[in-house]
């Protein structure tokens, strides 16, 4: 069933757990994530990034409607979330396309500009019934950029600044920089657990982890135990998909290798959802 992603995050928070949010690019991603969640018997979020919309030439509705149809048919609650939105125009297209929530990403801007842009996005989102996530302290590795130096200023979220940012912007959830980086193809990242503990104590909205593909299972479980309530995963699915296609590539019919790709992504999704509910 289709469910608001904000409700799924809130439900996970009440239970002291987290909901996995997977980035979708193709219909195979959508089907695989739903299958993985059904196998795990847990809710899941399908999230579409602004980059993935650009990949479709700016078209939002075809993939959004396909995802909504798969969510409605699913045996577990499935949220539909728009991820890493920078364009105010795309933000405004979210509601009609069936999204119940968005992540507005102005984390690349200096603090005051990030706050201003995020506050106006949050005002618009709430007036239109959307749950909104924002980011403070940029998680590196976006758009093919090299991962940020995790010790550079701004590459870590400051707890007091985060508390003020949430209060002044009115956002419903906050993505924090605690040592993960986007687009890692190896699961070798380590989180700053002391910082996460301070953030969880200081910030009174659910915390979101980005770049979670780079974390081993034990770090994922520890992140949830430490207060992360939404776990964003993209690259791990793409690694599974591309590996399966390479191994099963056929001269013409795409169905054998797309089947292999979907199977591999579903296994990855089920395993990572499982890792989130394990005790560290
Ligand atoms: O918003 C998307 C996520 O942060 C995914 O990051 O591709 O490194 O897992 P990832
Ligand atoms: Zn992200």
Q: What is the pLDDT of residues 234-253, one digit of tens each?
A: 999 999 999 999 999 999 99
* Burial class, 241, CB count within 10 angstroms (exposed 0-12 / middle 13-18 / buried 19+): buried
What is the rounded CA–CA span in Å between residue 131 and residue 254? 38
Ligand 1 atom with the smallest distance to the CA of 212 is: 9
The whole-number pLDDT of residue 153 equals 47
pLDDT (0 to 100) of residue 280: 83
Task: Tell me the DSSP string of 135-152.
Answer: EES--S-GGGPPPP-TTS
Residue 84: per-residue pLDDT: 98
For the chain, the structural domain boundaries read 5-276
Q: What is the pLDDT averaged over residues 32-49?
A: 98
Distance separating the N- and C-terminal Cα atoms of the chain: 30
Q: Give, using CA atoms, the residue closest to atom 4 of ligand 1.
A: 210
Decide if 83 is catalytic: yes
Task: Tell me what pLDDT residue 279 has.
Answer: 85
Please report the pLDDT score of residue 16 as a whole number: 96
Nearest protein CA to atom 6 of ligand 1, as residue: 211
Q: Scan for tokens 């550079």, then name that residue.
A: 152
pLDDT given for residue 149 in this prediction:
59
Distance between Cα 240 and ligand 1 center (Å): 14
Please give the pLDDT value at position 121: 98
Mutation pick for ligand 1 pocket among 210, 219, 237 (CB with most ligand atoms within 8 Å) = 210
Judge if the beta carbon of residue 234 lies within 6 A of ligand 1: yes
Ligand 1 centre distance from Cα of residue 24 (Å)? 11
User: Strands 101-104 and 131-136, how do they pair?
Assistant: parallel
Q: Is 147 in the pocket of ligand 1 (CB under 6 A)?
A: no
CA dist 125 → 2, 7, 128, 259 (Å): 19, 16, 5, 38
Q: Judge if the beta carbon of residue 232 lies within 6 A of ligand 1.
A: yes
pLDDT in tens, 132-169: 999 998 888 888 776 655 555 457 999 999 999 999 99
- Token pair in block for residue 67: 């995802």
pLDDT(27) > 60:
yes
Selecting among 7, 83, 89, 168, the annotated active-site residue is 83
Q: pTM to 2 decimals?
A: 0.97
Mean pLDDT of the chain: 95
Q: Is 181 in the pocket of ligand 1 (CB under 6 A)?
A: no
pLDDT at 150 (0 to 100): 53
Task: Report pLDDT for 127.
Answer: 98
For residue 154, the model assigns a pLDDT of 54
Quick check: 272 and 265 in contact, CB under 8 A? no
pLDDT tens digits along 91-120: 999 999 999 999 999 999 999 999 999 999
184-204 pLDDT, tens digit each: 999 999 999 999 999 999 999
Architecture (CATH level 2) of domain 5-276: Alpha-Beta Barrel (3.20)
Q: Which of 184, 181, 180, 176 is nearest to 158 (CA)?
A: 176
């Amino acid at each position: 069933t289709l469910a608001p992603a904000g409700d799924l995050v809130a439900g996970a928070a009440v239970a002291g757990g987290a909901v996995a949010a997977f980035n979708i690019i193709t219909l195979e991603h959508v089907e695989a994530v739903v299958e993985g969640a059904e196998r795990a018997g847990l809710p899941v979020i399908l999230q579409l990034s602004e980059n993935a919309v650009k990949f479709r030439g700016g078209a939002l509705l075809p993939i959004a409607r396909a995802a909504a149809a798969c969510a409605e048919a699913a045996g577990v609650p499935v949220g539909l979330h728009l991820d890493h939105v920078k364009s105010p125009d795309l933000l405004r297209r979210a509601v009609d396309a069936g999204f119940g929530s968005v992540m507005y990403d102005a984390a690349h801007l200096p603090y005051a500009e990030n706050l201003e842009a995020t506050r106006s996005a949050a005002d618009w989102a709430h007036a239109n019934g959307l749950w909104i996530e924002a980011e403070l302290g940029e998680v590196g590795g976006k758009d093919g950029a090299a991962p940020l130096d995790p010790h550079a200023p701004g590459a870590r979220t400051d707890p007091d600044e985060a508390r003020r940012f949430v209060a002044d912007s009115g956002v419903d959830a906050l993505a924090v920089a605690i040592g993960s980086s986007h687009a890692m193809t190896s699961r070798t990242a380590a989180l700053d657990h002391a910082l996460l503990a301070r953030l969880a104590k200081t910030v009174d909205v659910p915390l979101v982890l980005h770049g979670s593909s780079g974390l081993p299972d034990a770090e994922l479980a520890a992140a949830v135990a430490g207060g992360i309530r939404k776990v964003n995963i993209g690259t791990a699915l793409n690694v599974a998909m591309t590996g399966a296609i390479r191994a099963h590539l056929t001269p013409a019919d795409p169905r054998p290798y797309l089947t292999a790709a979907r199977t591999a992504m579903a296994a990855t999704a089920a395993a990572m959802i499982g890792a989130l509910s394990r005790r560290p």
